[in-house]
């Protein structure tokens, strides 16, 4: 494909980004005049760079990097100007408790609604002293004593707060889009989550949109308040909760989302990477099916009514997992890094609305067990194939009961009343009674050592090395795209995210196998045994 000419690239950037950059500038500067000037400066820098021959690999990331850099220069220039024109010493300002200064009179004379608005956007340190001095009418001495601060510090805070309030009251505040149209984000997690985190922290729209706003966009509490249209007292509380949950990280006076959220563009690029070698993957899997499935059937205990088609719904994702989990990953799905709170779970998000051109519902692997009984299930979360309880028995004791009943040769007649309650749930879902009334697994069952033999059969097959090479190339491509799109502060999380994203190859292979007639949709999709297996060690 030919690369776009300089002229066409300029036109593409202007059409796709000018309006977005203006709203970015409006949010950052707080008034339309400055936003227009800053937008013109950013667009000029973009066009000059393109005219010099710049042709970035990742246009989206390049545009926003320049936008952030030009805003940083603008902000620094404004700060130096304010410092040059401000009073040299806050002590020069008389803060007598009895006689209001001209500045105090000015604030009291301003429109009260503007003052209240600005009080909602200054930090707690300044807000406390302003409210105490101007609204509660307390003396500097009393404020200093109650806050445990020197009187000079209180005067300095009042001096600084007055400047911030006056500046803000002259601004035409423009709340961000999220203030009236909250966006949504989907999440994926893995690992050990004893406290209920991270899920308990992201059940509401406010924390979701804080995390979206701060994703790869270090923001002050004030910027987050304006973006979401939420006053600082409430924003500070939300920020504290997200910090405590280790989902938001403080860097200086700014906050950045401390996990990766894939924006729409990055999702689309990751999908493009996963499509590379797609036909080759299915060809390799078809060879493994033809040459290994007859042998695998000798090592598994299968219900007499189970079709080969149902067996393949397990085999295809299982063989891909064999390659995925052979990758040299530092932090993987099942061994995520330890969080700052001591828990070991991984987390990532997906901005909604990505256009990847096809319906690929997620597929997850759920499992549980103990005492030499292990149950697993691949769950397709769409196409009418998602089961109650995510396709997993409702209680670990159900798994243990089924495993022990099979191991001991129990019959339905031998069950106690309490055991019959468990059996009534399992019967027709994960188990059935044979012609002699003996309890049997209505899923793929592996007895001791057999699952190890099957893994060896797969991994020792010459085609497995080809599959591993194919999956490795995808993984490396995903990491490269993630590195382009994310802050260096999140570089230690890219292995984990790439490992999560690459699991989408499972569903891609399932869909391709359906389209090529390698597998078919099950006749009884309401059954919970599709892709389920149990291991008795």
pLDDT in tens, 503-524: 999 989 999 999 999 999 877 6
In the prediction, which pLDDT does 415 show?
A: 93
Check pLDDT > 50 for residue 390: no
- Residues with Cβ within 8 Å of residue 27, at least 6 apart in sequence: 174, 176, 223, 226, 227
Domain with CATH 1.10.10.10 in the chain: 90-169, 177-259
Rounded distance between C-alpha atoms, residue 528 and residue 519, angstroms:
18
pLDDT in tens, 133-153: 877 778 888 888 988 888 888
Spatial separation of the C-alpha atoms in residues 303 and 269, rounded to whole Å: 43
Res 375: pLDDT: 64
pLDDT at 99: 47
Instruction: Please tell me the CATH code under which domain 177-259 is placed.
Output: 1.10.10.10
What residue spans in the chain does CATH classification 1.10.1740 cover?
6-85
Distances (CA, A) of 204 to 68, 243, 509: 29, 16, 34
Beta bridge partners of 376: 367, 533
The Cα–Cα gap between 220 and 124 comes to 13
Q: Is the pLDDT of residue 77 over 50?
A: yes
Cα–Cα distance for residue pair 412/6, rounded to 1 Å: 76
Residue 287 · residue 520 · CB < 8 Å: no
**Which one, of 419, 417, 430, 367, lies nearest residue 396 by Cα?**
367
pLDDT at 242 > cutoff 90: yes
User: pTM above the 0.75 mark?
Assistant: no
Whole-Å CA distances, 209 to 214, 230, 345: 8, 11, 22
Query: In the predicted model, is pLDDT for residue 196 greater than 80?
Result: yes
How far CA 381 is from CA of 50, 270, 471, 491, in Å, comes to 44, 20, 23, 30
Give buried/exposed letters for 61-87 (b at 16+ CB in 10 A, else e): bbbbebbeebbeebeeeeeeeeeeeee
* Mean pLDDT value across residues 382-407: 66
Q: Supply the pLDDT for residue 388.
A: 47
For the chain, what's the residue count? 537
Q: Which fold has domain 6-85?
A: Rna Polymerase Sigma Factor; Chain: A (1.10.1740)
438, β-bridge pairs: 411
Helix 462-485 crosses helix 59-85 at what angle (to 10 degrees)?
30
Tens of pLDDT, residue by residue over 26-74, are 777 777 778 888 888 999 899 888 888 888 888 888 888 899 889 888 8
DSSP-derived letter for residue 256 is E
Indicate if the pLDDT at residue 105 is higher than 70.
Answer: no
Q: Are 353 and 417 in contact (CB under 8 A)?
A: no
User: In the predicted model, what is the mean pLDDT of the chain?
Assistant: 83
Rounded Cα distance, 353 and 517, in Å = 30
pLDDT tens digits, one per residue of 278-333: 999 999 999 999 999 999 999 998 988 888 998 999 999 999 999 999 999 888 88
Euclidean distance between the first and the last CA atom of the chain, given in angstroms as a whole number? 55
User: Does domain 90-169 match CATH 3.30.420.40?
Assistant: no
Predicted local confidence at residue 438, as pLDDT: 95
């Amino acid at each position: 494909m030919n690369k776009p000419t300089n002229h066409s690239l300029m036109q593409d950037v202007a059409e796709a980004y000018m309006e977005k950059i203006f709203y970015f500038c409006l949010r950052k500067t707080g008034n339309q005049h400055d936003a227009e000037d800053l937008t013109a400066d950013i667009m000029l820098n973009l066009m000059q760079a393109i005219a010099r021959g710049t042709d970035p690999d990742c246009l989206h990331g390049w545009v926003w990097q320049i936008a952030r850099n030009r805003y940083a220069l603008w902000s620094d220039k404004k700060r130096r100007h304010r410092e040059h024109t401000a009073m040299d010493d806050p002590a020069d300002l008389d803060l007598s408790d009895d006689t209001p200064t001209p500045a105090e009179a000015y604030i009291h004379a301003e429109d009260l609604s503007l003052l209240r608005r600005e009080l909602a956007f200054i930090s707690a340190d300044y807000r406390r002293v302003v409210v105490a001095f101007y609204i509660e009418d307390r003396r500097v001495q009393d404020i200093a004593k109650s806050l445990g601060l020197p009187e000079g510090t209180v005067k300095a805070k009042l001096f600084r707060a007055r400047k911030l309030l006056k500046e803000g009251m002259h601004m035409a505040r423009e709340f961000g889009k999220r203030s009236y149209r909250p966006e949504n984000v989907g999440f994926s997690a893995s690992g050990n989550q004893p406290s209920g985190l991270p899920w308990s922290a992201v059940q509401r729209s406010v924390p979701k949109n804080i995390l979206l706003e701060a994703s790869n966009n270090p923001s002050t509490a004030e910027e987050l308040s304006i973006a979401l249209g939420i006053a600082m007292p409430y924003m500070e509380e939300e920020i504290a909760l997200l910090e405590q949950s280790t989902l938001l990280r403080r860097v200086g006076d700014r906050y950045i989302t401390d996990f990766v959220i894939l924006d729409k563009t990055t999702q689309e690029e990751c999908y493009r990477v996963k499509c590379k070698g797609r036909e080759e993957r299915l060809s390799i899997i078809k060879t493994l099916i033809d040459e290994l499935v007859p042998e695998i059937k000798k090592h598994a205990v299968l219900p007499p009514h189970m079709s080969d088609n149902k067996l393949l719904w397990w085999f295809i994702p299982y063989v891909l997992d064999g390659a995925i989990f052979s990758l040299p990953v530092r932090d993987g799905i099942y061994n995520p890094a330890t969080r700052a709170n001591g828990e070991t779970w991984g987390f990532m998000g997906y901005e909604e609305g990505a256009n990847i051109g096809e319906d690929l519902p997620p597929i997850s692997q759920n499992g549980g067990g103990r005492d030499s009984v292990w149950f697993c299930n691949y769950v397709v979360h769409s196409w009418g194939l998602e089961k109650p309880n995510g396709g997993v028995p409702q209680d670990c004791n159900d798994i243990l009961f089924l495993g022990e009943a099979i191991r001991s040769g129990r019959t339905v007649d031998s069950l106690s009343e309490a055991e019959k309650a468990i059996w009534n749930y399992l019967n027709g879902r994960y188990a059935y009674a044979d012609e002699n009334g003996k309890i049997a697994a209505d899923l793929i069952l592996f007895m001791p050592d057999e699952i190890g033999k099957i893994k060896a059969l797969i991994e020792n097959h010459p085609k497995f090395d080809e599959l591993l090479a194919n999956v490795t190339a995808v993984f490396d491509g995903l990491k490269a795209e993630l590195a382009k799109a994310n802050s260096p502060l999140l570089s230690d999380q890219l292995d984990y995210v790439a490992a999560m994203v690459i699991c989408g190859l499972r569903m891609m292979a399932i869909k391709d196998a359906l389209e090529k007639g390698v597998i078919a949709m099950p006749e009884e999709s309401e059954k919970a045994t599709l892709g389920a297996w149990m291991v008795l060690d």
